[in-house]
Amino acid sequence: MNKRVQVAKYLFFDLLAAAASWVLFYSYRKLYIEPQHFGTEVPLEFTSRFFLGLIFIPAFWLLFYYITGYYSNIYRKSRLLELGQTFLTSLIGVIIIFFTLILDDVIGSYKNYYSLFFTLFGLHFSLTYLFRFIQTNRIVRRIHRREFGFNTLLIGGDEKALQIYQELNTQIRPAGYRFIGFLSLEERSSYPLEQHLPRLGSTKDLSEVIKKNDFEEVIIAIESTQHELLSSILTPLQNRTLTIWGIPDLFDLLSGNTKTSVIYSSPLFKISNGIMPAWQANLKRLFDVSFSIIAIILFLPVYLIVSIWIKLESKGPILYKQERIGKFGKPFTIYKFRTMVDDAETNGPELSSHNDKRITRLGQFLRRTHLDEIPQFYNVIIGEMSLVGPRPERQYFIDQIVKEAPHYTHLHKIRPGITSWGQVKYGYASDLEEMLQRLPYDLVYLRNISLYIDFKILIYTIIACFKGDGK
């Protein structure tokens, strides 16, 4: 099944449910509520207010569902959890609509408000969940019939891995794992699992195997005595769009560290690959795009003045383009106002220092005020960057950093940012040592990422821009 097609179906039916519930609610209000106020029948006329509602209310619902993360993982939905989620989002959304659009309606009695509220809620929730249940039930049934599944890599070739494979492959209601192969933890002459699955290599080949195969899920099935290998396994996995599952040992079960909602499957627990809750991540993305569009419009005069100034001061392009490494290690092209002389790196990649002669006079001002970064609002809009996140680096310097700090690659779990906590503290790094000094701040940000932290970093960045104390 094509994921985009399935998401489009959910979007279409959510839109249809929102529009239909609004039409029925409007008709109910005209035919049953307003006559109680006027004392006579009211003709069912579809006014401009009705058509405005028909446009904006369904749009509101889709935006609300997106923010709450409903469309983020359509193939792993629980019908019971979906019932609760639909009920809660419908209730909150109807409360918002009621207090913004309906509270000033003409009514015959205050009891009509209760009638209006519960009618809108009942219509919207019933229609929305009906369409969602049909869609989700169809997907779940196809998974249970093994018509559809997720390409899965099994890590571990010992008895525990074999047991998990057999349990998942013979269960009454399959969970959708389509095993492609396994990776062993060490080199041996034989493995219990190789009679059932092809061996793709060892954990040393993990990054290369992931690149070559279209895996969607990974199950880590290792013995309790092999837990010291977890860090080396998780580091390359958590920098990719993969769902990772682990097998709880006795300590995990007794300490309450594992949670699962699957009844028929083996007791796997999900190793979170997400940093923020879905609603916060979506709200962060929505804020990034909105803020960037507004910023581009407001900065248009600055773009024009700086562009002319750059051309007058030195020859070369106005914008400086460079390949950086972004989310999940994917390369992208970053854009900045040129602050150095043309062909500043003819001798290869080189970091700039405070008294770097390659930096132009205008470039020094742009760097102090961080105005050289404003073309990156375009990178934010197209989804390559965020307003706040670890600063993206070139692969050349990343290769040097990971020799000293292998955990640097954890920063690739999220989109890089125009500004970061490390940027606020250190500004531009002039050598590898300063990059390593900046790293702990970015790692702390990664562990504590939230919209609140983002706003604080943005405020400090704006203060730094006005003070001109960047470097």
The reply to whether 176 and 59 lie within a common domain is no
pLDDT of the residue at 377: 96
Out of 99, 123, 145, a domain closes at 145
The reply to whether 130 and 177 lie within a common domain is no
Q: What are phi and psi of 264, to 5 degrees?
A: -85, -20
pLDDT of the residue at 254: 38
**Domain span at residue 174?**
150-270
pLDDT of the residue at 359: 84
Following CA atoms 118, 123, 127, 130 in sequence, which dihedral angle do they give, to the nearest 10 degrees? 50
- Rounded average pLDDT over 189-197: 87
245 — alpha (psi -120 to 50), left (phi > 0) or beta?
beta
Total count of domains within the chain: 3
The reply to whether 350 and 376 lie within a common domain is yes
pLDDT in tens, 66-116: 988 899 888 878 888 899 899 999 999 999 998 887 765 666 566 788 888
pLDDT of the residue at 10: 95
Range in 28-37, 51-60, 114-123, 295-304 the model is least confident about? 28-37
The reply to whether 132 and 177 lie within a common domain is no
Q: Which CATH number does the domain housing residue 226 bear?
A: 3.40.50.720
- Rounded average pLDDT over 334-353: 77
How many percent of the chain have pLDDT more than 90?
Answer: 33
Is the confidence at residue 455, as pLDDT, over 60?
yes
**Cα separation, 141 vs 435, whole angstroms:** 51
Out of 235, 270, 305, a domain closes at 270
Q: How confident is the model at residue 374 (pLDDT cuts 50, 70, 90)?
A: very high
pLDDT of the residue at 342: 78
The reply to whether 262 and 315 lie within a common domain is no
The reply to whether 409 and 349 lie within a common domain is yes
Mean pLDDT of the chain: 84
pLDDT in tens, 400-443: 998 888 888 888 889 999 999 888 777 667 778 888 888 888 88
User: Within 10 A of 4 (CB to CB), how many other CB atoms are there?
Assistant: 8
The reply to whether 300 and 434 lie within a common domain is yes
Nearest to 237 by CA among 150, 328, 151, 330: 328
pLDDT in tens, 236-250: 776 677 888 887 654
- Rounded average pLDDT over 129-145: 91
The reply to whether 72 and 219 lie within a common domain is no
pLDDT of the residue at 257: 46
Is the confidence at residue 177, as pLDDT, over 50?
yes
pLDDT in tens, 11-24: 999 999 999 999 99
The reply to whether 289 and 233 lie within a common domain is no
Out of 117, 145, 173, a domain closes at 145
The reply to whether 76 and 184 lie within a common domain is no
The reply to whether 211 and 91 lie within a common domain is no
The reply to whether 238 and 132 lie within a common domain is no
Is the confidence at residue 265, as pLDDT, over 70?
no
Which pTM value belongs to this model?
0.70
Give the sign of the dihedral formed by CA 289, CA 291, CA 297, CA 301.
negative
Range in 122-136, 241-255, 454-468 the model is least confident about? 241-255
pLDDT of the residue at 409: 84
